[in-house]
Structure 1
């Protein structure tokens, strides 16, 4: 590994930490996710095909590791019971702090597939194509998940809980005829 490659990996750490903190409400778990991502990147560096940006490759590693962990937690019901966002032990002193806490809680209530797309686009400033490459999704799916995440987040922040449509139904609202 060349020094420039090492520097490129190290330059990704702040972005990886932001993304991990957005995915996971727990700072310690987020740091563990970043650490695991860095370990995998170092050990698998020879597998990196230098066709793309190293940043996208690193986010792809983190994305895959996060998804694997989410699936593993779902298969262990005893661990999934504690998925509620814990109350903050520190009392907010300003309205900004309260809004930030509410935003974090609303983000954590988003489905993981919507939350990760929203964070990559909004927080990390990635393009739809970059997110599609990282997540392995078509760019249309990325745009759809982003739109649903933004709408649900908007409703959550306005105090309205978004009720997801029943499975297999595109829109739960009744049809109306307009003349």
Structure 2
């Protein structure tokens, strides 16, 4: 059984690779970039394993690392292009599975989610796709919990307006 932080991180990485790759794809919308993000996340996690707190969840820590690497890359790209510091442009893509009807509806919703502002897309992904609690999403994104709630409310309102399904969300009650 692993006892040192490096051993814990190394042992846990394999279990989270698919989820990290999916988040990398959400952020970059490119498979090759998602691969690079996951590789950089693994390297950084192993290099900084001593900073991992055993009482925290490894997946949340890894999401935060990947998110930080992505933001740094976007900022560097914007600077190289002479645009200065701006928010990352993220795209949420999701292959609907299961029933054909559900898949069609999911694809329509995902197209609408792609048009949300970056901050809302990232928040929607972490809370509704990855199942993070508001506090966990706030920690990953480095924002207050109220910002998470505000982003989700704005995203739900926009999506409801675009899809004609506006109304109160019962999912929200379960996330607090």
TM-score by length of 2: 0.68
> TM-score, normalised to structure 1's length?
0.67
Q: Retained in 1: the 8 A contact 2:120–2:155?
A: yes
Q: How far is the alpha carbon of 1:8 from its aligned partner?
A: 1.6
Alignment gaps of 5+ in structure 2? 92-99, 165-176
Partner of 1:36: 40
Map of 2:19 onto structure 1: 15
Counterpart Cα distance in 2 of 1:21 and 1:106: 17
Whether the 8 Å contact between 1:25 and 1:104 is mirrored in structure 2 is: no
Report Cα offsets for 1:54-98 as digits up to 9, x if no partner: 111111101111222222233344799xx7x8xxxxxxxx88776
1:3-152 pair list within 5 angstroms: 3-77=7-81, 102-152=108-158
Give the Cα separation in 1 of the matches to 2:21 and 2:62: 12
What is the distance in 2 between the residues matched to 1:135 and 1:120?
A: 9
Q: Say which structure is richer in helix.
A: 2
User: Highest relative contact order (Cα 8 Å, sep 6+), 1 or 2?
Assistant: 1
Which stretches in structure 1 are left out of the alignment for 5+ residues? 86-93, 159-179
RMSD of the TM alignment (CA)? 2.9
Change (3 A) 1:110 1:71: farther
Larger gyration radius, structure 1 or structure 2? 1
